[in-house]
A and B are shown apart, each in its own frame.
Chain A
Amino acid sequence: MKPLLLILGLSCWTVAIYAQQAPTYRGQIAPIFYRNCASCHHAGGSGPFPLTSYAQVKRFLSVVAAAVSKRYMPPWLPTPGHGAFADARRLPDSDLALLRRWIQAGAPEGTGAVPAPPMHDAAWQLGPPDLVLQMDAPIAIPADGTDLFTNVILPNPLQGTHWVRAMEIHPGTPRVVHHANVLIDRTASLRRTHRDWRRGIPGMDINVDSGDTFDPDSHFLFWKPDSTALVEPAGMPWRLDQGNDLVLNLHLKPSGKPETARAQIGLYFTDQPATQHPMLLQLENDAALDIPAGDASFQVEDSLKLPIAVDVLGVYPHAHYLGKRMEAWAALPDGSREDLILIEDWDIDRQSVYRLAQPLPLPGGTVLHMRYVYDNSAANVRNPHSPPIRVRAGNRSEDEMAHFWVQVLPRTVPGQTELEGRQALQRSWMENRLAKSPNDTLALYNLASLDLATNRPARAMDLLRQLLTLTPSDARALTALGTALNATGQALEAEARFRAALAADPTYTDAAFDLASLDLQDGSLTEAETLLKTAVAAHPGDAETHRLLAMVYAGQNRPVQTLAELQTWQALAANDPGPHRALAQTYAQLGRLADAVREQEAVVALAPKSASDFNDLGAMQAEAGNAAAARQAFSHALALDPSLDAASANLKKLKPSAP
């Protein structure tokens, strides 16, 4: 019996070893490909060949083996253990070991049922979008040459403001669109500065003008071939206003034959406005980028102290072809360190936004750090220059960049509004820029804007005067200086700056608006009307301009024109009680009491805690002969604010109600 037992035992051992050493496609391997590869490598997908059947995998096994063993695929750059990210694509070590054993065993197909491959189709993942923006015409990608970087503008055709809860990009020709960033151009600045924008604007990176109001970028809108629909966290949709442009920043790769790509952006709206407002901060040190030819280890650093506590939601490291090693971390006030990311072999072709698996809370006083290393030697295969040349910062692919973006959610302290928290972050960021580059025009302007917004016009004037020594014909800086001067009571000086701004750029409607505001104050209504008509023609969707023009017409005693402008203002600002209030008062002055009451009812619907508006409603109802309704409105006003004397007096004036 002993020999028999021995043989059986050996047999089992052999089977066990065989099972461990020879995984099969049908057994353990197909699910690995389905999980890690098939999202791109399916028929019609962005991968160059499908990997959803044994025959396909076997056909490209040599390529797959090389790509996987070097961790080129699946594309994932962060080094494990330095930041915890959602949707990590790194192939688990256990899967890699299994694949290696399978390949060494001759890549057997095995027996049994083939696990069902995942289904992929070209439809929108979240169903039909609420809005699809499509490029006017396809982009032509030549068969050969270096990669193509272009920016396509997609104007938003909708009226009013919409909140976007999710976005999906259909690249049109998946295999040539390598990645895309969507920028929101709040002021249509690229269309203004590029007359032939319909042909696409070249550039790996591009800057848009975010306008004069404090409205920092808030979301990473990044797409790569394995991206799913980009669904924003609850409470954090992003705002799309009338007149905004979406700018599709595209990285296109020649495939060897002439190609075209016509991308679409699908947007999904929500009727719930944002309740939380994340913000993008940037560490950068482009000013330090002056990389000598041949330097294989050129290092730049930056740091940014957080003035308030934040939750870090995501990061986006960015360099061009010379970037080699990137790391970013947070140094907390207690001396501890939280790694944000480490990339030891940067590859722009596999760049990504990295969303944290969980928000990372950082207390105020934390210092964010970045350290990037560049290789401008001939040994860097990705070096776009052969032989290497000196490289500085710039937007072209052959230039370099040292950017590290962080998406944070400000945590306000008691007594601080969310806006104040965001302004504090913006101030730290801009002061950091200015410390590195004293002539940084963006930082000078943004700091001045913050000072104006926080009622520090004197300091704003200093910054703007410094800015104007650098760019004396900058219409926006001249206008901002005029605003600061006006805020300090220097109206004549302000007027001179507004006129100088218009002389520098007659199309700069902000200067026209501000000059018209001054005209309105001193009664120069004819010039104000001319200026505002010009502004309205340029920006028909600007509610404030219509409001001001209505005031001009009211001053000229032109009720028809006044009402028309107020109605336009109201249509553009649907949730603002202001235009309804102005309409109600205008109708009341014209004796159209029913219209006045209707508009004032709209006011109190939008401002239900405004005692004075209920008082005004009561007055209009009383004037219209509806004493009962008026009594109710006055009483409601007094319930909201018992100290409102006007309501008390109005209530007494009413005849006693019938018993």
Chain B
Amino acid sequence: MPRLALPIVFSLCACACHAQTQARFGTALDGTPLTQLAPAGTKAVVLFFVATECPISNRTFPEMERLRETFSPRKIRFLYVYPNAGETAADIRAHQASYDPQGTAILDPDAALVHLTHAFVTPEAAILTPAPRRAWNVAYIGRIDDRYVHIGLQRPQPTQLLADRALTQFVSSKPIAPDAGTPIGCTILPAHPSR
């Protein structure tokens, strides 16, 4: 009996997890659940994890905007993900209008994208590529640049544009080098931190 019980339980869990991953990639600002991150044919999706009140995230917006403008024509979709509990659609719209009006912002109320990418601070970039057996493969997760060394210590300007390098490698069909450093920023505090 115990042998029989165990596979059943496992199977239920696997089904539940699978169903949830397939169904939701956060929500649009109007609350509509997103069932897909990008239309078919998209080569990659870049998620920028950001927050309305995080100064490090805000300071990095110009680079995120530049990446969006540079790589969007290469069939790469860019989304700004606001993962923190307490972020409101109105605040995000106003924030986005100030920092990158052309960018698309989404919420991550169930932390689905946080769990998918393992992002833990804002700002952080994830490059997702289509995967045959899963919805998306996380090809890169980490810093956008190396301006911040730790809280309280920053360079006058970045010396490495890490997300740019990863995207350049991706569009050149080269292996994407992982980020060897630690992202610096404001800890993500989702409404549902564990699933």
Contact = CB atoms under 8 A, between A and B. Distances in A.
Partners in one complex: yes
Given A147-B156, A382-B155, A384-B156, A254 B59 contact: yes
Contacts of A384: 156-157
B75 interface: no
B151 A256 contact: no
B153 interface: yes
Nearest to B95: A257
B55 interface: yes
Given A62-B187, A256-B62, A72 B55 contact: no
A180 B149 CA distance: 26
A270 interface: no
B152 A73 contact: yes
Nearest to A75: B152
A158 interface: no
A99 to B, nearest CB: 15
Contacts of B189: 59
A143 B151 contact: no
Interface stretch (A63-71, A114-122, A597-605): A63-71
A66 B150 contact: yes
Interface in B131-156: 149-156
Given A62-B186, A63-B187, A146-B157, A49 B55 contact: yes
A342 to B, nearest CB: 20
B170 interface: no
Given A60-B186, A256-B58, A257-B61, A381 B152 contact: no
A382 B156 contact: yes
A63 to B, nearest CB: 5
Interface in A16-69: 48-49, 55, 59-63, 66-67
B186 A67 contact: no
Q: Is the interface of B mostly helix, strand, loop or mixed?
A: mixed
B159 interface: yes
A403 B155 CA distance: 23
B159 A66 contact: no
Contact of A72 (B53, B152, B156): B152
A48 B55 contact: yes
User: Which range holds the interface residue count of chain B?
Assistant: 20 to 34
Nearest to B51: A59
B61 A381 contact: no
Q: Is the interface of A mostly helix, strand, loop or mixed?
A: loop
Contact of B60 (A67, A256, A321, A383): A256
Contacts of A55: 86
A656 B63 CA distance: 97
A141 to B, nearest CB: 12
Contacts of A147: 156
B55 A255 contact: yes
Contacts of B62: 143-144, 254, 256
A144 B63 contact: yes
A63 B99 contact: no
A72 B155 contact: no
Interface string A303-324: 0000000000000000001000
Given A62-B187, A381-B149, A256 B61 contact: yes
Contacts of A70: 150-152
B98 interface: yes
A648 B22 CA distance: 115
Interface string B57-75: 1111111000000000000
A256 B86 CA distance: 22
A350 to B, nearest CB: 9
Nearest to A397: B156
Contacts of A49: 53-55
Interface in B83-126: 84, 86, 98-99, 121
Contacts of B154: 381
A383 B54 CA distance: 25
A473 B99 CA distance: 52
12 contacts: A48-B54, A48-B55, A49-B54, A59-B53, A61-B187, A66-B150, A254-B59, A256-B59, A256-B61, A256-B99, A257-B58, A386-B155
Contacts of A382: 153, 155-156
A412 B85 CA distance: 65
A196 to B, nearest CB: 26
A49 B122 CA distance: 14
Nearest to B153: A381
Contacts of B153: 72, 381-382
Identify the interface centre among A145, A147, A256: most chain B CB within 10 Å of its CB: A256
A72 B151 contact: yes
Contacts of B63: 144
Interface string A134-174: 00000000011111000000000000000000000000000
Interface in B146-195: 149-157, 159, 186-187, 189
Contacts of A383: 156
Contact of A48 (B53, B99, B149, B155): B53
A257 B53 contact: no
Given A48-B53, A49-B53, A59-B189, A257 B98 contact: yes
B69 to A, nearest CB: 13
Given A256-B99, A381-B153, 17 more contacts: A48-B53, A60-B53, A60-B186, A66-B152, A70-B151, A72-B151, A72-B152, A143-B99, A254-B62, A255-B55, A256-B58, A256-B61, A321-B156, A381-B154, A381-B155, A382-B156, A386-B155
A250 to B, nearest CB: 17
Interface string A545-583: 000000000000000000000000000000000000000
Given A62-B186, A63-B186, A66-B151, A257 B99 contact: yes
Contacts of B150: 66, 70
A72 B151 CA distance: 8
A255 B95 CA distance: 13
Nearest to B86: A59
A658 to B, nearest CB: 88
Nearest 4 pairs between A and B by C-beta?
Answer: A72-B152, A144-B62, A48-B55, A62-B187
Contacts of A66: 150-152
B40 to A, nearest CB: 34
A360 B187 CA distance: 46
A358 B159 CA distance: 45
A67 B63 CA distance: 24
Nearest to A387: B159
B62 to A, nearest CB: 3
B164 to A, nearest CB: 14
Contacts of A254: 59, 62
A59 B187 CA distance: 8
A63 B57 CA distance: 12
Contacts of A59: 53, 84, 86, 189
Contacts of A62: 121, 186-187
A49 B159 CA distance: 27
Nearest to B151: A66
